[in-house]
Structure 1
């Protein structure tokens, strides 16, 4: 039996809508069930809040009551702008105050304590706190490429090199970080938390996706692909569950493509079972992903997935045309439409890929993933 530990999971927010915070709550529950003492800590309140429940078996803590001002890099005339300098000084002051709160929480921990910084912004608070004699883990819940194409890349190289280990979601991403110069990298996949209550028959004429309605999730590309498919298969439906900042723009796009936006956009749902069990195909048109929980959920239900090859996590989950679904070159809208049509026309292919995927995804069972975490903690203590 593994040693009981104090585990602190630090995120940008403890109640933000999205896969990363869902992951944080999932692993917090799994660690708690193993007897560990877990605290889930957020830096600031959510921008788009979600209710993760009021009877959680671990405490949640938010360091700051209000959103913090974002740091502005001082270049050119900004160096002479007193308002910019004041804002940056205020942010530094607030950040130090939050780090002191973290230190006070960390000092309550017993021997063998672990801090998991689940996001690089949250790590900025962790590095300012007192973590002596604690294991510090930094995580990237996105692909290496997604990070490299953002402002997060430089901060990962700066802050995660100070951690005991920097965990990517796949070995391929860990190798990419190593090639970028990091010497403390490893990989840890997400656990599969979904236990289907009702398995789909795969005879329903519905393609489904559960996505945040934002640019990175690629619903605009799915709509373009669906416009090509729907004209040939008018008896099939596309259902998009989710909400987000691009909803009105996406609804307008659907109408421009000759689609009826009302039955397509189903709104947010907490009933994943109902959404997935009534479908026959899952679509993942994302521009960026890490190790997508949405694909894991679809595979658990035996739904074949058509996904853009936007991250190593996609091919870690889906063995193209063998188990789990069909992988398409990222951004290839015609390829997405063609793959969807293949699955629409071929019920045997749907069932073969779905069944194989359901078997394959079981290797990410919660017990197996938490076993890996506990073995990692023991290794890092040496």
Structure 2
């Protein structure tokens, strides 16, 4: 609550500053110009002074109240309008930060149940058949699972492929620092090692995409036995046992290169994922984003539980159902704190996972973000994230 009080205190101070500086001018045109400038200055200052989490929590808790109080009128109407305008502009500023560097990503990867939100597993054994939004068969030799960290690394590779490979070839040369920059993480040996381990897992695990679609409006579904990375080439000097160079080469599988050409893609923000602490919140953001045109997404809890590896090979929960539901609820609350969703609700049955549904309603600013295809790589088009 202290964080919310701090937001409210800052907003009140800024509101009085705004009123003091905008009420001096009788000329309506000059007043309107100063009004806009002050809103932009104060909202930018608010983003700097308070945490993003506190900002969105405050908006979720008090935003609608501010609007309703403003509509009711009264002596404080001008103050309430100014307060609401500063808050909404601050939220938009942060949303623009998230959407400034979005990554076009393949829908098949997001909607097949590839990535676990339970990396330690329930009994030390990862499932081989995972029933999610789209089912997947996973063949791994080590028993390791792919987590949403690997998903983020895959997203960084995808982004760099679009930026660096102008001819649409499957192979690109990268540095560890390139991937970390895309992820918004600090440069350094520890992160290099983690990226290398993630790359190895992405290559090592074979997957069968049971409902693979070549394009967004494909007439047919296919079964694709594949890997997410076709080949990795690390380099080191001849005669040295370790110390690989910071440069390496990655070859994407043909199905993914083809999907990039066809545009079976949606956009995600890797920077936003940094502000999500739990694997499940990251994975849920990833999954819900794969429905870019839908303002609200409804999924059965049994589907969600399977998608994020909370069910075993017999489709039985690996932990008590109430814990799974609680984790889903906490993930939704995290998505609210970063402003991705406006609200969420459960419906259907009150117990169990079957017949029980989650509906997530997105913040409108995240709808229909621009998705790039390989055909657009050589077109010097300025993308406008927000249409007035």
Looking at CA atoms only, which structure, 1 or 2, has the larger radius of gyration?
2
| TM-score > 0.5, shorter chain as reference | no
TM (norm. structure 2) is 0.26
> Could you say which structure has the greater relative contact order, defined with CA pairs below 8 angstroms and 6 or more residues apart?
2
TM (norm. structure 1) is 0.27
